[in-house]
A and B are shown apart, each in its own frame.
Chain A
Amino acid sequence: MKKILWFVILLVFLLQLLTTQAQASLQIWPGKLTISMPEGYPTERISYLIEVTNPYTYSVNASARVENPDMQQLTTNYSNIPDLSWITVEPETLYLPANTSSTFKVFLDVPKSERSNYYNTSWETWVVISSDKPAGDTGGLVFQVELAVKLFIHTPSQQNVPTAGIFFILIGVIITSGVFYVLLKNVRKNIPRK
């Protein structure tokens, strides 16, 4: 019995040793987000939430910025987004009380005037999140941790022609033909017979 007890104590000790989790910082989800628009550009801007968790026992402010990665860091077959202003994050700064979670909202809005230039394109851009956690007052060198959420954006393969649009065109053609037919019929009536 004593042996088993010692074994259990040893096991608990070892487990605790092995699972002593490393240092924690802000936790972000997702770390990678792929956005695809297989049916065409939507009329409204695209939005998605990034969840940020503060594991500390004190409150922190988390801030977000959008950056294109360096060319050397780009994933193969991806290019930088042509204009960073097409992606916005709200709010810019997020107040996180101790042990709480909150969300940044990422918006993607490719201007209508630019859409025709960017079909079948793959972009990569990063949303970088950092906190104002104090690193300490001592030391000549201070480390600041930042977390980058990778955004992969696949633009539509071609201009979308919605079914509703085709239906309305057909209706228009039928009405036009009808008007044309009626007018032609009236003309025939007015033609003096020999």
Chain B
Amino acid sequence: MGCRKNKYNVACASDIKKILFAWLVSMLWLSVLTPMVLADETSISVTFNPEGVIDIDVTPKTYDFGSVQAGAWKNTTQSYFTIYNNGTSPMDTQFKTNATTDTTSLTLDDNGAPGNNAYSFRTSGLDNDGYITAAYAVEQDTGIAAHTNKVCGLCLNMGSSMSQNWTAQRTTIYLQGSIS
């Protein structure tokens, strides 16, 4: 069997080629298999740390402002609504309301300057009183202790003008509670 020596005269050139080829193939397999093996993370643990019970409510659930003139304010009493925290941790609360009344006749103005066919709501008696917006933005009250309550009122500001004498309007205010 002939063996063609290489220039260094230490091995057959064909054998060295075989070795290099085998080494290359082995390394290729290793490089392919390594990420697959590394991706096997079945034994990885995840830790959960659950805390507290949330239970919040408000009463009464409804209010009727009655007839309101354009450009005028009409308020509930300062302590008309009661927010209860029946949970086990201090609670933050925030308000949002629909962008229009249910009939879409009137539009919410969340900056407190309602124009034509618009209105604004404002809280009173809470830590961070302000105008109620169409999306949750700030916490109106923070840290209501567990098993206590807080009273508050609502103020309605009707727009500077109305295009007609609207019939009764209805809208929803959302009260969201979360652990402080």
Let me know if A35 and B46 touch, CB within 8 A.
yes
List of B residues within 8 angstroms of A135 by Cβ: 61-62, 172
Tell me the bound Cα distance from A30 to B48 in angstroms: 11
List of B residues within 8 angstroms of A165 by Cβ: 34, 37-38, 40
> Quick one: given A27-B53, A142-B170, A162-B40, are A150 and B178 in contact (CB under 8 Å)?
yes
Tell me the bound Cα distance from A106 to B91 in angstroms: 22
A30's contact among B3, B42, B44, B53, by CB below 8 Å, is which? B53
> Quick one: given A141-B62, A176-B30, are A147 and B11 in contact (CB under 8 Å)?
no
List of B residues within 8 angstroms of A43 by Cβ: 39-42, 44
B113 beta carbon closer than 8 Å to chain A: no
List of A residues within 8 angstroms of B84 by Cβ: 22-23
Question: Is chain B's binding surface mostly helix, strand, loop or mixed?
Answer: mixed
> Number of contacting residues on B, CB 8 A?
73
> Quick one: given A26-B55, A35-B47, are A187 and B12 in contact (CB under 8 Å)?
yes
Tell me the bound Cα distance from A15 to B172 in angstroms: 36
User: Could you mark each residue 24-61 of chain B with 1 if its beta carbon is under 8 Å from any beta carbon of chain A, else 0?
Assistant: 00110110011001111111111111111111111111
List of B residues within 8 angstroms of A142 by Cβ: 61-62, 170-173
List of A residues within 8 angstroms of B15 by Cβ: 183, 186-187, 190
B interface vs A, CB < 8 Å? 3, 5, 10-12, 15-16, 18-19, 22-23, 26-27, 29-30, 33-34, 37-65, 81-82, 84, 86-89, 94, 135-139, 149, 154, 168-179
Listed from nearest, the 10 A-B pairs whose CB atoms lie closest are: A139-B62, A30-B50, A22-B84, A148-B178, A31-B54, A23-B57, A31-B52, A34-B49, A25-B57, A31-B179
A interface vs B, CB < 8 Å? 21-43, 46, 48, 67, 69-70, 72-73, 126, 128, 130, 135-136, 138-150, 160-162, 164-165, 168-169, 172-173, 175-176, 179-180, 183-184, 186-188, 190-192
Q: What are 30 A-B contacts defined by CB distance under 8 Å?
A: A22-B84, A23-B59, A23-B86, A29-B50, A29-B52, A29-B54, A30-B53, A31-B51, A34-B48, A38-B45, A40-B41, A72-B138, A73-B139, A135-B61, A136-B62, A142-B61, A143-B62, A147-B55, A148-B176, A162-B40, A169-B30, A172-B33, A172-B34, A180-B23, A180-B26, A183-B18, A190-B11, A191-B10, A192-B3, A192-B5
